[in-house]
Structure 1
C-alpha cells in the first residue's frame, strides 16, 4: 500500500477477477495515492459473503490510508456479474457503499475493454481463470454471454486448460487415450507417483483444486515442445477466443467495421506463441478488419481510467495513471 501527501479528492477504482482484487485510490491528477490487493472477487465462484468480506477489507484499508480526502466516485468491476440478476444482486449487496460516494458496478470485462481502447466500437475477450467476452457499439448497444461455464457453452481459461491437461494425462496412463508427454509432466508436477494418485488427491481434496489450474503453463510448455495432444488443446483455446469475438461482431453488426479486439487475462497476456498465432490467424480469416489489441497490464488500469473519466479528469491525469500501473509504481 502507498499513500499520497497532497490533499484533495480521489476516486476509487476496483477490479476483481478470478484470482485477485485490486483497489486503488487515485487523485484527480492521476496519481495513485493508496492501493490494496487481495483475493479473487468473483461472486459466482467464491459466493457473495466471501467476496463482500474481502471487498470491505480492502476498501476499508484504502479509505484509512487516504484519511479525510473526499471520494467523488467508486467504480467497481467484478468477474461474475454477467446476468441482470447478478448486477442487481451487486447493487443490493453493496448498497451502503453509496453513502460514501456514487457507486458504479459492472462486469470486469468493461475494465479490460477500457484498458485496451477508448474506441466506442470494440470487442474484448478475457481468458484468465475462465473465459468471457463483451462487445460494445457507439450507439450504446452491448452484446454479452451468460458466462456460467460449461452449462452456458463456455470452454477456456486456466480452469479448462488445466483440467484438460489432467484429463489427457490420466487417459494416457490408463490406456483410454493416446500417449502424450502430458502424462509424465502432470505426474512430475504432483509428485505422487502416478497420474491416478494425483486425480485421487484432487478428488479427496488432499491437494487444492487450484493445483489443476496451475497445470496451465505446463500444458503450454508441452505444446511448445511439440506434443500433439497439448497442441490440440491450445488450438481449441484459440478457436474459442476467435469464435467469441466473431459472434459478438455478428450480433452487433460490426463485421465490416475496423475496430479493436482487446485480448486480456492471464492466459492471453502470457502471449504463448502457439496461442497467439492461432488467435491472429483466426481473426485474420474471420474478422479481417479487427485489430488485435493485447492487454498485459493489470485490468485495474481500465477501472482507473473509467473512474477518472467519470469525474472529468484531464488527459494528462489519464496518462499518468496508466504509467503508474504499467510501470508498477504501486507498492505490492
Structure 2
C-alpha cells in the first residue's frame, strides 16, 4: 500500500497533531485527557485531529495512529480500530503505541529511543522487530525524566523553599512569573484545573533555564537526566546487539542542559552506547509508517483492514 494516500496522527497529553499526504500543512488540536471513556476518548481525539486536516481527495489508504492513550489490551485496541474504520473513509488503520512512532521518527531502525514530552517512555527495538519498553506508566506511577516530573519536582522545591524547609531558590520567583502567584497559590489553583498535567509540564523548560544558576533546579534536571540514562541503558541490555541511543522531544533539544546531563549520565552507565541525533519527531515516525508501512515495527503495531466489499 506504499505510495497511496495516508494520514498520520501523533496523540500526546498536551497536543495532538496530524499530517496527511495530500497537504503540506500539519494540523494540531488539544491533547488527550485520560477519562473513564477509555478508547472512546482516544477516538474522539483522533477524530478532532482528522477534522482539522483538509478533506482528502478520496478514500484514504492508510491511517496511522500513534497515541499516548491507546489501550493496552488487544480487545480494546481492536474495538478502537473498528470504530475508526467505521467513522472515517480509510482502507486500513494502524494503531501504534506512541513509543513506536517516536522510535520510527528518531531512528527508523534498531536502537533505543527515549521520547521526552509531557510524559516519558523508552523503547528498544532490534533488527527482528522485538521491542522492550521502559516506563511510560503515566504521571501517577512513572514517566521519570518527563516534563511533568521536572515541573512537579520544581513546584515542590519552590514550596519547600518558600516555607523555609529548603534554602532560597530562584524557582520561587519563577513560579510567580509563570503561574502568576506564590508557590502556595499556584499549586492550590492547579488542583482545581482539568489541564493541570499540561500546565505543570509546561513549567519544565523554565526549570531547565533556572538550572544554569540555581542549585535546586540543577539537582532536578540532573535527576531527570539520570532517570533517562537509566531507562536507556536498561532497555539496551534487554536486547543484545543494540548500540545506538537517541532522545527525542523539544525538552531535550540539542545543547540543552538536560541533553548535556543526559549524555554524561549515559556515558557513566553504559559507555559502549553511542548517542546519535534524533532524525525526527513522533509525528515524523507516524508519517513514515503511514507512507512506507510498518517495516521492522510490524510486531509492535496492530493493523485492521476494511473488507474489500465494504471499501468506499
Query: TM-score under structure 2 normalisation?
Result: 0.82
How far apart are 1:174 and its partner, in Å? 0.8
User: 2:306 corresponds to which residue?
Assistant: none
Q: Matches of residues 301-312 of structure 1 in structure 2 within 5 Å?
A: 301-310=284-293
- Does structure 1 retain, via aligned residues, the 8 Å contact 2:124–2:131? yes
Say whether residues 1:215 and 2:215 are aligned partners: no
For 1:231, the equivalent position in structure 2 comes to 218
1:14 pairs with 2:2: no
1:116 to 85, 92, 106: 106
- Assess if the C-alpha contact under 8 Å between 2:32 and 2:42 holds in 1: yes
- Shift, 1:169, TM fit: 0.6
Task: Select the residue among 149, 158, 165 that pairs with 2:138.
Answer: 149
RMSD: 2.8
Q: Post-superposition shift, 1:204?
A: 3.9
1:178 Cα deviation after fit? 2.3
Which of 223, 237, 254 is 1:250 aligned to? Answer: 237
Q: Tell me, which stretches of 5 or more residues in structure 1 are unaligned?
A: 1-7, 313-332
The structure whose RCO (Cα within 8 Å, separation 6+) is larger is 2
Judged with a 3 Å threshold, the aligned counterparts in structure 2 of structure 1 residues 215 and 125 are, in CA distance, closer, same or farther, namely: same
3-state SS of the aligned residue for 1:58? helix
Contact 2:35 2:41 in 1 (8 A): no
1:51 to 20, 35, 42: 42
- Do the aligned partners of residues 303 and 229 (structure 1) sit closer, same or farther apart at CA in structure 2, a change above 3 Å counting? same
| Aligned equivalent of 2:299 | none
Which of these residues, 78, 90, 112, is aligned with residue 77 of structure 2?
90
Equivalent pairs counted in the alignment come to: 290
- Gapped regions of structure 2 (runs ≥ 5): 296-312
Is 1:105 the counterpart of 2:100? The answer is: no
Instruction: Judge conservation of contact 2:226–2:266 (CA < 8 Å) in 1.
Output: no
Please list the CA deviations of residues 2-27 of structure 1 after superposition, one character each: whole Å capped at 9, or x if unmatched: xxxxxx94012111122212222215
Query: Which secondary structure does the structure 2 equivalent of 1:145 belong to?
Result: strand
Alignment match of 2:227 (pick from 234, 237, 240): 240
CA distance in 1, matches of 2:193, 2:142: 27
Residues 11-90 of structure 1: matches in 2 within 5 Å? 11-26=6-21, 32=23, 35-41=26-32, 43=34, 47-62=38-53, 65-68=55-58, 70-81=59-70, 84-85=72-73, 88-90=75-77
Does structure 2 retain, via aligned residues, the 8 Å contact 1:125–1:263?
Answer: yes
